[in-house]
């Protein structure tokens, strides 16, 4: 069977095959050229023109390929929703984290002038050297194993020291009783010596030292040197005989503890133009015991009483910032500067930290001097007792021991500085929930935030909006992301379930909604007492009808029971 092909059909088939061949060549051969850069480099060196041309072509092709791959990568990664989230986070971070330090600076304003301090303001003068020496020994030498017997009206007069250090290894149930007995016997022995010496001094005997043993001669010399400003009657001297244990061991522990905060505190004082030596005050106030609380109601390492603390710090049912060493340092710097402006003397200002500026002004007026040594020795004003009289000498002794700590304690290593950042709370936040969402141990947060009241730490009350939460820097991003989620949930909340202690004012602050708006929407008066479990409706975009609620509307609602939708105040809670 003979098949005759149409010439026209053959021509068309030829054209089609040619096109297919060219198309295949373009898609197969060109990519090989793009990826043949390595083989081109190994081409024969005897055909230089061919190598050069292929290299140029390959480099151009590779550049195009790189550009296409990079473009495709950017297109694949681009996510408008993710970009919006990043932008929202950056805005949140700026508002609640980076601005925290700026807010602190504004809250504790820098002084209008820099008072500074001359180098000789903190030197030990001859008139108070004995007092400073006494406290230097108490802070740097004597420990709980030594009992020091001294004159309360002039601590420079030390009668004797009992040393129980060798008994430490023999500790038993009867040791404390033995110490008590030894101390009582020493008190009686010293009283007899004091009475004997005082009678000879007061009788103006020419030979005061006649018939006295070496210890009695030493005590007589101390009393004679102090006769100008000390009551040497037998009764007064007997009453002023006191004893106390040393606490060099506690001062050493305080130096170790202070390492966590000292650099930051010195920076706070220095940037305000205040003497950094003022950071010695916590040593004599609390020995850097973070949760110190005195019988007078003074709290924290700076020992602010509540009335003074409230001038500078937040103290309420949720927070007591006196327990935050850094915030309290800001407050102390501001407080000391304010008192310095009244007294114009750092020694007097330091003394006023204990006894108050009013008493210092009384002393200045009574004695017509601003000399701290004269005031310490001669001022007899009410309230200026032993503690006040010794406060400035204690400060100088603490400064001396701290600056020469290696001499007193050998190789001592303070704790490393605390690494922290402050983050503002954008809303009321449950500390347990925050720790869970951020993947941070709750105890870590609580250890860094000792200012939180027990109810807040236990989760019975929430971290208040506007609180400065101290956090470890390496948890910053997680905590901010968790706070951002909580903040968005709070913004989306439609109702609030009243908790114990809630008021309309607190709810208003939490959700950033005016009291009037809440009052109108819920038909309650602004100061109405709320009951735990009540539901407070929060406004949204559909609540504009309630913005001008009339008495007529209220009457209509009284006829028709108003039913609130019981919706949780957390919308779409995050689930781990």
* Closest-CA residue to 149 (of 167, 139, 163): 163
Q: How far apart are CA 561 and CA 543, in angstroms?
A: 18
Q: What is d(CA 79, CA 322) in angstroms, rounded to the nearest whole number?
A: 47
Q: Which residue has the higher pLDDT, 84 or 509?
A: 509
The pLDDT of residue 42:
36
Beta bridge partners of 293: 299
**Distance (Å, rounded) from C-alpha 395 to C-alpha 281?**
7
Sorted by where each begins, the domain ranges of the chain are: 20-43+50-65, 145-245, 252-409, 421-559
Average of per-residue pLDDT values in the chain: 80
Query: Each residue of 447-489: pLDDT tens digit?
Result: 999 999 999 999 888 888 888 899 999 988 888 888 887 776 6
Q: What is the pLDDT of residues 317-374, one digit of tens each?
A: 999 999 999 999 999 999 999 999 999 999 999 999 999 999 999 999 999 999 999 9
Could you give the CA distance from residue 356 to residue 57 in angstroms, rounded to a whole number?
87
Percent of the chain with pLDDT over 70: 72
266 three-class SS: helix
Count of other CB atoms within 10 angstroms of residue 167: 14
Residue 259 neighbours by CB under 8 Å, 6+ apart: 413, 414, 415, 416, 417
Whether residue 65 contacts residue 32, with contact meaning beta carbons closer than 8 Å, is answered with no
SS3 for 11? helix
Give strand pairing partners of 497: 535
Q: How far is residue 484 from each of residues 5, 266, 337, measured CA to CA in Å?
A: 79, 34, 38
DSSP state at residue 212: -
Name the DSSP letter for residue 237.
H
C-alpha distances in angstroms, 347 versus 344, 393, 399, 465? 9, 10, 13, 40
Rounded to whole angstroms, how far apart are CA atoms 109 and 111? 6
pTM of the model: 0.71
pLDDT at 565 over 70: no
Q: What is the DSSP letter of 207?
A: T
Kindly list the distances between the CA atom of residue 477 and the CA atoms of 343, 446, 474, in Å, as whole numbers in the listed order. Answer: 46, 18, 8
Residue 353 CB neighbour total at 10 angstroms: 22
Alpha-carbon distance of 486 to 574, in angstroms, equals: 9
CA distance 325 to 313: 12
Pick the CATH number of 252-409 from 3.40.50.720, 3.40.50.970, 1.10.530.10, 3.90.1150.10: 1.10.530.10
Range name among 46-60, 285-299, 328-342, 451-465 with the lowest pLDDT average: 46-60
Assign 193 to helix, strand or coil.
helix
């Amino acid at each position: 069977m003979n098949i005759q092909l149409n010439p026209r059909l053959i021509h068309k088939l030829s054209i089609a095959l040619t096109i297919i061949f060219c198309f295949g060549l373009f898609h197969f051969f060109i990519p090989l050229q793009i990826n043949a850069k390595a083989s081109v480099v190994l081409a024969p060196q005897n055909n230089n023109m061919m190598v050069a041309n292929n290299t140029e072509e390959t480099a151009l092709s590779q550049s195009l390929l790189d550009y296409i791959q990079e473009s495709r990568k950017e297109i694949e990664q681009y996510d408008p929703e993710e970009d919006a989230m990043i932008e929202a986070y950056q805005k949140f971070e700026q508002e609640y984290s980076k601005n925290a330090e700026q807010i602190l600076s504004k809250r504790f304003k820098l002084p209008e002038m820099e008072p500074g301090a001359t180098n000789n303001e903190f030197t030990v003068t001859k008139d108070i050297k004995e007092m400073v020496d006494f406290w230097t020994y108490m802070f740097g030498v004597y420990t709980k194993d030594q009992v020091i017997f001294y004159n309360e009206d002039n601590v420079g007069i030390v009668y004797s020291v009992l040393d129980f250090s060798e008994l430490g290894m023999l500790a038993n149930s009867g040791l404390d009783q033995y110490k008590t007995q030894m101390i009582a016997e020493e008190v009686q022995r010293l009283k007899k010596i004091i009475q004997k010496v005082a009678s000879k001094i007061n009788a103006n005997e020419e030979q005061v030292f006649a018939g006295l043993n070496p210890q009695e001669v030493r005590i007589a010399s101390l009393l004679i040197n102090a006769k100008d400003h000390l009551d040497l009657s037998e009764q007064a001297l007997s009453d002023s005989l006191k004893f106390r244990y040393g606490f060099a061991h506690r001062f050493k522990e305080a130096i170790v503890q202070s390492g966590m905060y000292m650099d930051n505190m010195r920076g706070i004082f220095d940037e305000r133009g205040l003497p950094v030596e003022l950071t010695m005050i916590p040593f004599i106030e609390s020995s850097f015991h973070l949760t110190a609380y005195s019988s007078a109601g003074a709290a924290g390492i700076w020992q602010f009483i509540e009335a003074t603390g409230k001038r500078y710090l937040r103290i309420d049912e949720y927070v007591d910032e006196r327990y935050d060493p850094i915030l309290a340092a800001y407050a102390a710097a501001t407080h000391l500067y304010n008192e310095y402006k009244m007294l114009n003397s750092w020694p007097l200002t330091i003394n006023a930290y204990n006894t108050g500026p009013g008493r210092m002004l009384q002393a200045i007026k009574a004695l017509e001097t601003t000399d701290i040594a004269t005031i310490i020795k001669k001022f007899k004003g009410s309230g200026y007792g032993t503690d006040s009289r010794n406060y400035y000498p204690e400060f100088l002794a603490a400064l001396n021991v701290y600056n020469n700590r290696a001499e007193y304690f050998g190789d001592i290593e303070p704790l490393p500085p605390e690494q922290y950042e402050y983050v503002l709370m954008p809303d009321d936040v449950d500390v347990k929930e925050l720790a869970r969402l951020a993947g941070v141990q709750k105890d870590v947060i609580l250890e860094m935030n000792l200012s939180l009241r027990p109810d807040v730490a236990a989760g019975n009350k929430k971290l208040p909006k506007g609180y400065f939460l101290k956090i470890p820097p390496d948890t910053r991003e997680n905590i901010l992301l968790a706070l951002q989620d909580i903040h968005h949930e709070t913004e989306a909340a439609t109702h609030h379930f009243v908790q114990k202690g809630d008021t309309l004012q607190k709810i208003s602050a939490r959700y950033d909604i005016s009291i009037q708006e809440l009052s109108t929407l819920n038909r309650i008066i602004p100061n109405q007492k709320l009951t735990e479990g009540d539901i407070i409706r929060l406004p949204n975009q559909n609540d504009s009808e309630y913005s001008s609620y009339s008495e007529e509307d209220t009457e209509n609602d009284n006829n028709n029971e108003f039913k609130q939708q019981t919706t949780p105040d957390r919308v779409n809670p995050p689930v781990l």
